[in-house]
Amino acid sequence: MMQHFPVLAVMLLFLSAFIVEIFGAKSKAVAQGIAMIAATVSAGLIYALIKPVMIDGQIISYWMGNWAPVEEYAIGIGYEVDALSLFFALLVVTTFWLSGLYSIGYMNKDHHLGHYYTLYLMLSGSVLGLVMTGDIFNLFVMVEIMTFASVALTAFRNFSEGALEGAFKYLVIGSMGSSFTLTGIALLYAECHTLNMAQIASILAGGLSPTAIAAFGLIIAGFGVKSYMVPFHTPAADAYTVAPTSISMIFSGMVNKAGVYGMIRMIYIVFRAMDKGTVQQMLAIFGAVTMFLGVTMALAQHEFKRLLAFHSISQIGYVITAVSLGSALGLTGGLFHAMNHTLFKGLLFLTAGAVLKQVGTTNLDKLGGLSKRMPHTTICFLVGAGAISGLPPFNGFASKWIIYQAIYTKAVESGKFVYVLCTICALVVSVMTLASFIKVTQAVFFGQLRKEHENVTEAPFSMRLPMYIMALLCTASGVFYDFVNKYLLHPAANAALNISKYIDAMMGPGYAANARVSDMSVEPVAFSYWNPIIWLVLFGVLFIGAALVILGGRNERGQILSSSDPSQAKYDTFFSGEKEMYSQVGGSDLFWGFKSNWKGYYKFMEAIHSGIVNDYASMAVVGTAVICLCMFLFMR
Amino acid sequence: MIIVNYIASIILIVLGLYTVCTKKNLIKVVLGLGIIDYGVNMLIVSFGFNDGGTAPIYQMSDLLNGVSTKFFVDPVPQALTLTSIVIGACVDAMALSLVIMIYRKYKTINADEVRRLNG
């Protein structure tokens, strides 16, 4: 009975997508009802798997049409749910269920809701299928459905500014990424003559040939596009900004997690390459660049949702760096942060959506003082902001703390300077995240209430309920981190590191032993939160990081920063006196001094984020080339 | 020679990438995506091809009597290619419809002018 649950959950979502299209076109309530019932049942089916998979340690395998392997050769399409898959599946169902709940209140003014729910169910079903499939071509098909549903949903409010443009860029970069993935899969098929991931893993256990390395590079680049790693991050910022907010939450909660899942599945299980120093360092550097670039771009934004989008990119950098370390501690931290990112970034997007719905704008320059009118939203936002900046009682602190420890331990063990830089980068980025959220809090919720917003009211209860749930989960997973570790993170990390069970569940017992697949033994990660020596060393590192930032900006001290351009008057030394009647530094521009000091950097960044689709495509090509080149130069 | 197919498909993929990266006309960008797709499809079909191979249709008696089954064309890549062609057609249709909508809204399909979301 149990083994039918995963495939039923996926099929139910796809089937309901078509039912909604047939019956839901006329009536809003019918469309909402069908979608919510499907989402609830599907989420229930996945939650029912927690006990057998996470606690009892079973692995559920299912062959479509009962095409079981013949003579140890996989022919049919298989679904396989181990703890790693289930961990991501839980994130996915939680996200889309809450997003569906939020959509009821949020989308009630939009037309053609039948189409919206069709696409919503397609997107949910594809991501759920992606994390549970055991067949690599099925994985690709799910990636493609995910990309299309995402593009169509990005353009759903096609009357709004930039929606079409964002969708088009997403489509171009996304389908380039899919093509890279497909090329990689084709090369892998040419090498192994099978599409089953368990069987590929056991065939590749003997060592990677050049063909397999090329396939590895291309597939990692393809999933990098889906997880919005840095050279591929450009469409994410646009798509998150212009999509309806319930969909932005799905993007940051499950679509980019699907990319992260693909990377973990490929690196740890299919290719077994996480013990290769090259792969580790390359991905750690990509992750560190991703977090730094994301947060610095976020500091410069004046648009609430775009700012959150860049933070989303930045937090994925943490996950990629932590996962790339190849240690049990790093993997645990990465998975924990992926989960927490789903929770707190979903929460933040929901508050942004509530502001957009009730006030009508998310431009930080035009907002202010909403805490008096929207107190519940403000409290939820503060919880989310505290969690993303890593303040202690919330979950962001727990996961970031493990990540710092993991990177630092790696730096000590391997003696590579790269990891020291990554540690400093992770700490500095966390500080800048806090700074950026202070800016948002000041610009949106505190400060003076604008005259035109006197009549703003609190968001309706159906929109607040998902926020409360997420705020509660953010706090609970931060306080009871031991519980989360024991029942979710440890089984998932264990599943990624011990693959012989995964292969045996799919291909029959004894298959992995015949193929000489080696396992890594994993100790449960102890959360040594308050180890004083590590604290001390971390503060030392933090001090050095802070010193670097301060010294880096020092060169202009003592000079008069005056500019002849009157629009730049706020960069003058005495801007608040004679020249301008009012100070131009609003809450939305709290860190103008920082931006002024880093003028060159920001000029460069603006040139990169030009908005021209050809530039973004070139960046994606260069990123892919760099990844493949790194693999070829250093892995052989 | 099957190697010709490999070279041709790599050339197609590179041409497609070049088109996407350099052409400013959005329709040409979409065509570039299509060309990448065709290259990849050709690569997959070539992987399963055997020179002089037959269709993979055998009766049980043939297999039991030991008729050589080594030289048939692998059917799996052809199935993959069909799926991939369908997906590619959807990409093109959807991208072109987006270009039409962009043209109506922006009155241009020059990539340099369709850049309101930047920075």
Are B29 and A618 within 8 A, CB to CB?
no
CB contact set of B108 (below 8 Å; sequence gap of 6+): B114
Residue B59 in any domain: the answer is no
In the numeric block, which tokens belong to residue A16? Answer: 């309901």
Are A171 and B94 within 8 A, CB to CB?
yes
Residue B115 in any domain: the answer is no
Burial of A295 (0-12, 13-18, 19+ CB in 10 A): buried
DSSP A232-268: G-HHHHHHHHHS-HHHHHHIIIIIHHHHHHHHHIIII
Instruction: Pick A446 or B69 by higher pLDDT.
Output: A446
Residue whose C-alpha is closest to residue A494's, from A17, A54, A30, A35: A54
In this prediction, residue A588 carries a pLDDT of: 66
CB contact set of A178 (below 8 Å; sequence gap of 6+): A140, A143, A144, A147, A222, A225, B87
* DSSP bridge pairs for A133: A79
- Band of pLDDT at residue A382, cut at 50, 70 and 90: very high
Where do the H-state alpha helices sit in A451-557? 461-479, 481-484, 490-497, 500-507, 511-514, 532-552
- Band of pLDDT at residue A583, cut at 50, 70 and 90: very low
In this prediction, residue A417 carries a pLDDT of: 87
In this prediction, residue A338 carries a pLDDT of: 94
* DSSP bridge pairs for A70: A73
What is the rounded distance in angstroms from the CA atom of residue A238 to the CA atom of residue A247? 13
In this prediction, residue A554 carries a pLDDT of: 52
* DSSP bridge pairs for A135: A196
Question: Are A235 and A616 within 8 A, CB to CB?
Answer: yes
Residue B58 in any domain: the answer is no
Report ipTM (2 d.p.): 0.93
What is the rounded distance in angstroms from the CA atom of residue A80 to the CA atom of residue A605? 43
Segment A46-63 shows an average pLDDT of 90
Can you give A295-331 as a three-state secondary structure string?
HHHHHCCCEHHHHHHHHHHHHHHHHHHHHHCCCHHHH
Q: Does A299 contact chain B (CB < 8 Å)?
A: no
In this predicted structure, the answer to whether residue A482 has a pLDDT above a threshold of 70 is yes
In this predicted structure, the answer to whether residue A552 has a pLDDT above a threshold of 70 is no
Residue with tokens 């690599």: A136
Q: Which DSSP category does A485 fall into? A: I
For A79, the 3-state DSSP assignment is: strand
CB contact set of A533 (below 8 Å; sequence gap of 6+): none
- Chain-centroid distance of CA A23 in Å reads 34
Task: Please report, in angstroms and rounded to a whole number, the separation of the first and last CA atoms in chain A.
Answer: 46
Residue whose C-alpha is closest to residue A284's, from A131, A416, A470, A374: A416
CB under 8 Å, gap of 24 or more: what pairs does A428-431 form?
A428/A292, A428/A545, A428/A546, A428/A549, A429/A291, A429/A292, A429/A295, A429/A314, A429/A317, A429/A318, A430/A389, A430/A390, A430/A400, A431/A546
CA distances from A574 to A16, A46, A557, A568 (A): 63, 61, 14, 12
In this prediction, residue A480 carries a pLDDT of: 86
DSSP A557-601: TTS----S-GGGGGGSTT-SSSS-SS----GGGTTHHHHHHTHHH
- Chain-centroid distance of CA A547 in Å reads 30
CA distances from A403 to A408, A456, A522, B22, B23 (A): 8, 41, 17, 40, 42
In this predicted structure, the answer to whether residue A168 has a pLDDT above a threshold of 70 is yes
In this predicted structure, the answer to whether residue A535 has a pLDDT above a threshold of 80 is no
Which residues of B fall within a CB distance of 8 Å from A238? 117
Number of structural domains (chain B) is 1
- Beta strand A60-63 with A78-81 is antiparallel
Can you give A188-233 as a three-state secondary structure string?
HHHHHCCCEHHHHHHHHCCCCCHHHHHHHHHHHHHHHHHHCCHHHC
b/e per residue, A432-447, with b = 16+ CB within 10 A?
bbbbbbbbbbbbbbbb
**Residue A426: CA atoms inside 13 Å, Cβ hemisphere, count?**
36
Q: Does A158 contact chain B (CB < 8 Å)?
A: yes
Residue B94 in any domain: the answer is yes
Which residues of A fall within a CB distance of 8 Å from B101? 155, 158, 164
In this prediction, residue A611 carries a pLDDT of: 87
DSSP B83-108: HHHHHHHHHHHHHHHHHHHHHHHHS-
Q: Does B82 contact chain A (CB < 8 Å)?
A: no
Instruction: Note down the domain range covering B22.
Output: 2-53+74-106
Instruction: Pick A94 or A587 by higher pLDDT.
Output: A94
Q: Does B117 contact chain A (CB < 8 Å)?
A: yes
What is the rounded distance in angstroms from the CA atom of residue A264 to the CA atom of residue A220? 10
Residue B96 in any domain: the answer is yes
Residue with tokens 């940051």: A252
- The pTM assigned to this predicted structure is 0.90
Q: Mutate which of B14, B86, B117 to disrupt the A interface (most A C-beta within 10 Å)?
A: B117
Q: Mutate which of B6, B14, B20 to disrupt the A interface (most A C-beta within 10 Å)?
A: B20
In this predicted structure, the answer to whether residue B108 has a pLDDT above a threshold of 80 is yes
What is the rounded distance in angstroms from the CA atom of residue A499 to the CA atom of residue A496? 7
What is the rounded distance in angstroms from the CA atom of residue A369 to the CA atom of residue A155? 31
In this prediction, residue B58 carries a pLDDT of: 73
In this prediction, residue B75 carries a pLDDT of: 86
Which residues of A fall within a CB distance of 8 Å from B21? 614, 617-618, 621
In the numeric block, which tokens belong to residue A460? Answer: 């309706």
Segment A549-568 shows an average pLDDT of 55
From A107-111, A154-158, A439-443, B53-57, the region with the lowest mean pLDDT:
B53-57
Residue B101 in any domain: the answer is yes
In the numeric block, which tokens belong to residue A40? Answer: 């609830």
A 176-235 residues inside an 8 A Cβ radius of B = 176, 178-179, 182-183, 186, 189-190, 193, 195
% of chain A with per-residue pLDDT over 70: 90
For A433, the 3-state DSSP assignment is: helix
Task: Report angle CA A63, A68, A73 to the nearest 5 degrees.
Answer: 120
- Band of pLDDT at residue A537, cut at 50, 70 and 90: confident
B 36-65 residues inside an 8 A Cβ radius of A = 36-37, 40, 43-44, 47
pLDDT in tens, A287-323: 999 999 999 999 888 889 999 999 999 999 999 999 9
Which residues of A fall within a CB distance of 8 Å from B94? 148, 151-152, 171
Are A613 and B91 within 8 A, CB to CB?
no
- Chain-centroid distance of CA A303 in Å reads 20
In this prediction, residue B69 carries a pLDDT of: 54
Q: What is the CATH number of the domain that holds B83?
A: 1.10.287.3510
Beta strand segments in A360-475, E: none
pLDDT in tens, B55-104: 777 776 766 666 655 667 888 899 999 999 999 998 899 999 999 999 99
Q: Mutate which of A170, A175, A219 to disrupt the B interface (most B C-beta within 10 Å)?
A: A175
Q: Using N-to-C axis directions, what is the helix angle for A395-414 and A375-389, rounded to 10°?
A: 10
Are A606 and B118 within 8 A, CB to CB?
yes
Q: Where are the domains of chain A?
A: 2-546+608-635, 554-597
pLDDT in tens, A318-341: 999 999 988 888 899 999 999 999
Residue with tokens 């209860």: A461
- Neighbour tally for B119: CB within 10 Å: 18
* Mean per-residue pLDDT of chain A: 86
In the numeric block, which tokens belong to residue A21? Answer: 């299209």
Alpha-carbon torsion A413, A417, A420, A426, what sign? negative
Residue with tokens 């102890």: A526
Task: Please report, in angstroms and rounded to a whole number, the separation of the first and last CA atoms in chain B.
Answer: 50
Which residues of B fall within a CB distance of 8 Å from A195? 76
What is the rounded distance in angstroms from the CA atom of residue A473 to the CA atom of residue A465? 12
Are B21 and A151 within 8 A, CB to CB?
no
What is the rounded distance in angstroms from the CA atom of residue A259 to the CA atom of residue A254? 9
Are A137 and B83 within 8 A, CB to CB?
yes
What is the rounded distance in angstroms from the CA atom of residue A254 to the CA atom of residue A124? 9
Question: Are A45 and A152 within 8 A, CB to CB?
Answer: no
CB contact set of A110 (below 8 Å; sequence gap of 6+): A116, A156, A157, A244
* DSSP bridge pairs for A79: A62, A133
What is the rounded distance in angstroms from the CA atom of residue A317 to the CA atom of residue A334? 10
DSSP A434-445: HHHHHHHIIIII
